[in-house]
Amino acid sequence: MKTKRIVGLACLALALPIHAGEFKAGGFVIDVPAGFEGPVSTEPDARSKTSAFTVRASSPSPSTVLQITLYDAGIDLGASRNSELAEISQRYLLQMLQGIERRRTEYRRSEAKSIRLAGSPGAEVSWVGKANGLETNGKMFCVVSESGPVFFHVMGGGSSPNSDMAEAIKAVDQLRRPSAKKQ
């Protein structure tokens, strides 16, 4: 009986999703929330790398996704001031959002807002739209690091963030540099 229980618990443990935990990208560290599986990574071109974590949704609702994209834009940040970095972040953010807009109907977005992530100037935008007739929404962040723009994109089904999306947005808000201790 004891052996069956141990085997049963082992099978249950194997069936549970893998929790991603801490993930490093572009000079930043994000604590990926429990329940997200991944990362699945791809390099769409020679200058970019994308890693994604997901929480599967029941069909037909889209899964919740936390996507991190590093883009080597060949930027020399040299003596850039915070205001310039915020403007650069906003410009790249709005360019990246054009891809979301092209794949959505009834697309709307908020105004880009200047923010700070891990002490660095950045920008954020929230959006809503339909993909294949299903309501979707998301929040995209951009911060420029020494290696170029880093995008954090949280998206999922519905017209507003679900609880998994809210946890992922919170994780982005708590982004830190590798040397910073987790609070």
Res 162: pLDDT: 95
pLDDT band with cut points at 50, 70 and 90 for residue 16: very low
pLDDT of residue 8: 34
Q: What is the C-alpha to C-alpha distance for residues 75 and 88, in angstroms, rounded to an integer?
A: 10
Report pLDDT for 15.
39
Can you say how many angstroms the Cα of residue 41 is from the centroid of all Cα atoms in its chain?
Answer: 13
Q: Tell me, which fold does domain 18-173 have in CATH?
A: Protein Transport Mog1p; Chain A (3.40.1000)
Q: Which helix (H) or strand (E) holds 86?
A: helix 82-102
Q: Which whole-number Å values give the CA distances from 169 to 67, 78, 89, 115, in the listed order? A: 11, 30, 18, 13
Mean per-residue pLDDT over the chain, rounded: 86
**Cα–Cα dist 160/140, whole Å:** 14
d(CA 133, CA 52): 23
* pLDDT above 90 for 3: no
Residues 88, 151: Cα–Cα separation, whole Å? 12
CB 168 within 8 A of CB 154: yes
State yes or no: pLDDT of 127 exceeds 50.
Answer: yes
Instruction: Fill in the amino acid letter for 100.
Output: I
Exposed / middle / buried, residue 122 (Cβ in 10 Å: 0-12, 13-18, 19+): buried
Give the residue carrying structure tokens 């299903």. 134
Which pLDDT belongs to residue 118? 94
Query: Residue 130 is inside which H or E element, if any?
Result: strand 120-131
The whole-number pLDDT of residue 182 equals 61
Which residues, 6+ apart, have CB-to-CB distance to 182 below 8 Å?
31, 176
Q: What proportion of the chain, given as a percentage, has pLDDT over 70?
A: 84
61-83 tens-digit pLDDT: 899 999 999 988 776 666 567 77
The pLDDT value recorded for residue 5 is: 35
